[in-house]
Amino acid sequence: MPLFDGITPRTIETSRLAVNILERAADDPETPADRTLVLLHTAPGSSLFWHEIIEDLPSDVRPIAIDLRGFGDTERLPVDATRGVRDFSDDVRATLEALGLDAVHLVGWGLGAAVAMQYALDHRVLSLSLLSPVSPYGFGGTRLDGTRLTDDDAGCGAGAVSPALVDRLTARDAGDDEGTARSFFRTSFVSPDYESDNEDTWVEAMLTTSTAEGNYPGDSVPSENWPGFAAGRLGVQNALAPGHFDVSSIVDLAAGYDAPPILWVRGGADVIVADGSFADSSHLGEIGAIPGWPGVEAAPAQQMVAQTHAVFERYREAGGQVTEVVIEGVGHAVHLERPGKVRTAILSTMGYLGTPISPAPPTEAIILSSWD
């Protein structure tokens, strides 16, 4: 596993499974919780994706990047998708307990943001920094108000993942042909003009993904509804299906005296989490990429960004603090394309910098140019 200088792995034996974490060798394990930052990655991926954020954090902040189950060097136990992402969030809780930590600051990207939101529903957190988060209503198959399009979540879950990508992940193919992890990274995770000397590390993060039964992406079942498949009961992608995952009740946390401030960072050029996502079956049907689309009344494209905005606006109205940061020209992996901006926003949300990242009202989007 390629590691940056000063970053070391460690296996934590928890009450649930063996979990791999990345941390900086020089960090003080006695760092207080209000300066402890726990980072959760997306799928396919691993904690390797956090290297650039971790290495340049202040020395008195302790970052801990966790490999979720079935990713990186964490134990490859199956994911019970009927629990939503609770297998992951319960694993995170067990890891923090093993480390002697209680309430901390959470950072999540994509899948990791979904896990962070679920964790906050079940356990106290100091802040939530959500990078390109999945909609609070899950991935695919819902109308703007979060209601499901079908009772079986047709078009959602593992069946929507490219079989070619799964095959290449299984083969640990580091090439750049169409269908490989590297190709997926370049076309889906980052904007077209992104270049990095660390691309091999990011691809390696993806290649650590377990494609065993019950891991990524999971099982798919036939459906009588278009497009002919529906979410199964096992695996990562099925855990995000709307029948299994709904964290819109995060709004209820806002009324508490210790409601966590929420940072929402997204790229203006994100093609995965978008109002018209190229990973959403309904949007693909609408543009003709999947045949037989039954029309906008039966299968509208999921308005992922609009859904998230609506839920977070309700959080603000209930007394919580939300800051939305939109970085123009940047894709799904906002922290890889603009690590400095993202790092500053996270530190501000933690209260480390002592000043807000903008004088704008809590839910007014802060539009940043694409340079770092």
> Percent of the chain scored above 90 by pLDDT?
92
Kindly indicate the confidence band of residue 1, based on its pLDDT and cuts at 50, 70 and 90: low
What is the rounded average pLDDT of the residues 172-182? 96
Provide the pLDDT for residue 357: 44
7-147+159-211+237-276+303-368 homologous superfamily: Alpha/Beta hydrolase fold, catalytic domain (3.40.50.1820)
- Per the confidence metrics, is the pTM higher than 0.85? yes
The first and second tokens of residue 23, run together, are 């941390």
- C-alpha 330/C-alpha 109 separation (Å) is 14
Provide the pLDDT for residue 362: 43
Provide the pLDDT for residue 356: 45
Residue-by-residue DSSP string for 307-318: HHHHHHHHHHHT
Phi, psi of 36 (to 5 degrees): -105, 130
More confident residue, 372 or 134: 134
- C-alpha 107/C-alpha 115 separation (Å) is 10
Instruction: List pLDDT tens digits, range 18-63.
Output: 999 999 999 999 999 999 999 999 999 999 999 999 999 999 999 9
Q: 110 in the Ramachandran plot: left (φ > 0), alpha (ψ -120 to 50) or beta?
A: left
- C-alpha 293/C-alpha 271 separation (Å) is 20
Indicate if the pLDDT at residue 153 is higher than 90.
Answer: yes
Instruction: List pLDDT tens digits, range 222-266.
Output: 999 999 999 999 999 999 999 999 999 999 999 888 999 999 999
Instruction: List pLDDT tens digits, range 135-152.
Output: 999 999 999 999 999 999
Residue-by-residue DSSP string for 279-339: T-HHHHHHTTSSTT---TTTSPPPBHHHHHHHHHHHHHHTT--EEEEEETT--S-HHHHSH
What is the rounded average pLDDT of the residues 197-206? 97
**Amino acid identity for residue 325 in this structure:** V
- For residue 161, the surrounding DSSP H or E stretch is none
C-alpha angle 1/67/329, rounded to 5°? 85
Instruction: List pLDDT tens digits, range 288-341.
Output: 999 999 999 999 999 999 999 999 999 999 999 999 999 999 999 999 999 999
Mean pLDDT (the chain, rounded): 94
CB burial class (10 A; 0-12, 13-18, 19+) of residue 177? exposed
